[in-house]
Amino acid sequence: MTAEALYERLLESISENELKERIDKKIQSVGGLLSEEGALLLIAGELGINIEEPPKEKKHFFISDINEGMQHVDISGRIMRIFDINTFQRKTGSEGRVQNIVIADKTGSIRIVFWDDQIDKLKQFKRGDVVTVRNGYLRKGLNNEFEISLGKDGIITSGQDSPDYPPINIVKLKIRDIEDKMSNIDLTGRVSAIYGIREFSKKDGSIGKVGSFVIMDETGEIRVTLWDKKAELLNKLVKNDLITIENAYSKMGLNSVEINLGATSNILFEKIEREDIPKSESSNVPLSDIKENMRGINIEGYVKELYDIRTFTRENGTGKVGRFLLSDDKNEIKVVLWDDKADYIATLVPGTKVRIESCNIRFNNGLEAHLGLGSRLESLKSQEKIDEKKIAEYNLSDNVNILARVNGIEGDFLVIIDESGNIPVSLNHITNKNYNIGDSIKVIGTLEKDSDVLFIKATSIQKGEYNLPTLESIINPPSKTIDELLKNDYCIITPLIKHVVKEEDSYIVICDDGYGNIRGKVKKEVQSWKEYDIKARIFENNNLKEFYGYDIKEINPASKAKDIFMVI
């Protein structure tokens, strides 16, 4: 028997991966002095295979040849469907796993059942592959039809393609061609909107899940609905992802045909970009054009009124909902935020301009814009760059680019000051040294150190009418209440911080001093429901006053009480 024939003979008893591993171990155990053929002979002996005995001639079975009474079944076919893995509880209390595939040849199809660790062998195969299953055992399964189960001794290997295994005719449909009651739908498109996962009670009392998204191609859009475990796939999707949906089915939804994903359906992420499938447009829908049941739209406007966040009880726990009124000066709509999205309310104040992406419109005593899982709300930033880096934020050896005022002149050094502090500036490399106290200047250079003193080694200094507080207000900023604030003020405010939200390396805060409220940005970590002295620079964001805080000190309640007592 040739080595090739012996190799094939052994594959009747063990998988190809196991055989290769055993060959390698045999050869390594004798320092590489054993040939592959010698290793095969040793393995055959261990498995009790008599190589002198000619192999029994096996009849090639087709699926239609399978009949009751067969024990060890060997069969080949093309994978037509791959089902999800299901878990179950055994009588012993341990957890088991089961996964099914369907294979087909020219005579029919049959379900193959994999249990527990055998499931891992399926990872190397995909829909459309030809496989050979060995040592399966036959039983009656769903609808009293035959199925093959693979136990511990079961083997699945790659099979050889042939006309005996009809190909899968994978024809990707265009969205415009999808009609009601179609099955085995394959299509490629781009995610244009994502909606949340919601839970519901089934007739048997169990909790189900359902979620959906919208997919688009160059011919149109269609809603895709996912049930139970499939709904969790929504957490992996991002708007404008290019995906392929496999083996879905269609049915009528509320107003149009929808695609549904069943147990054998799948979503694949495409790695190669497609220019023929356009990305979802991000244009806004004017509030005047909004209609009931619109989905995945973008809107923009100003926060006109905020409402309290409300908590409520669900069958499976608690939830929360927040609302605010959005206006564009001519039209209004109530915006509804559910669960974690409700926390956005804490970052808003009346007058804030916001943009909402991928919201859904419902009617509830008037039109409402609801934010779901795939929705996004952002506060539109002011174009004014009020938060340029300040003196205190630079580190040794950093390249420096600072707007500041001259606060002192000492030989070949200037002392400059901004809202965060002051620092010497070396003029050794500067030709023009004609500066006056109070000048507003732009300093470019590097931060260096000499005898433990930090200074800026300037390479360029430019005078200009920069947007800076006056020197007097930087040194001795006045105290103001929030209702007294004006654009470009640099002053001390003493508010109670009501809400704090982390944003990258800063904190967005909502403050109230009893005279008004204001939104601001600070670098230092602060806590809600505490009072602070804040040296604040005031700017306007879409006609709404906001501040950037520099020097922040928590007010000691005992110290404040003492001050009040002294005044009395």
Tell me: the pLDDT tens digits for 34-60?
888 888 888 888 887 777 665 554 556
Phi, psi torsion values for 342, nearest 5 degrees: -60, -20
Between 497 and 278, residue with greater pLDDT: 497
Going by their DSSP bridges, the two strands 198-201 and 207-217 should be labelled as antiparallel
Give the CA radius of gyration of the chain: 36
pLDDT category at 497 given cuts 50, 70, 90 is very high
pLDDT tens digits, residue range 162-177? Answer: 889 988 766 678 888 8
What is the mean pLDDT of the segment spanning 352-366?
Answer: 87
Whether residue 545 contacts residue 538, with contact meaning beta carbons closer than 8 Å, is answered with yes
Is 175-269's fold the same as 391-463's? yes
**Which pLDDT score is estimated for 314?**
76
Question: What is residue 30's three-state secondary structure?
Answer: coil
CA angle 532, 538, 540 (to 5 degrees): 130
Residues 287-379: name the CATH superfamily: Nucleic acid-binding proteins (2.40.50.140)
Whether residue 123 contacts residue 117, with contact meaning beta carbons closer than 8 Å, is answered with no
Going by their DSSP bridges, the two strands 317-327 and 297-306 should be labelled as antiparallel
Q: For domain 175-269, is the CATH number 2.40.50.140?
A: yes
Q: How many residues does the chain have?
A: 568
pTM listed for this prediction: 0.38
pLDDT tens digits, residue range 370-406? Answer: 986 567 788 775 444 444 688 988 888 888 989 999 9
CA angle 397, 398, 402 (to 5 degrees): 130
**Which pLDDT score is estimated for 294?**
80
Listed by start position, the domains of the chain span 3-46, 63-158, 175-269, 287-379, 391-463, 477-565
**Looking at residue 73, what DSSP letter applies?**
E
CA pseudo-torsion sign 315, 320, 325, 326? negative
Query: Number of helices (H) and strands (E), helices first, in the chain?
Result: 5, 31
For the domain 391-463, what is the CATH code? 2.40.50.140
Other C-beta atoms lying within 10 Å of the C-beta of residue 241: 17
What is the mean pLDDT of the segment spanning 158-163?
Answer: 87
Going by their DSSP bridges, the two strands 266-269 and 242-252 should be labelled as antiparallel
Q: Which two tokens mark 396?
A: 């040794």
For the domain 477-565, what is the CATH code? 2.40.50.140
Residues 63-158: name the CATH superfamily: Nucleic acid-binding proteins (2.40.50.140)
Share of the chain above pLDDT 70, in %: 91
Among residues 277, 294, 287, 286, the alpha carbon closest in space to that of 358 is found at 294
Between 201 and 503, residue with greater pLDDT: 201
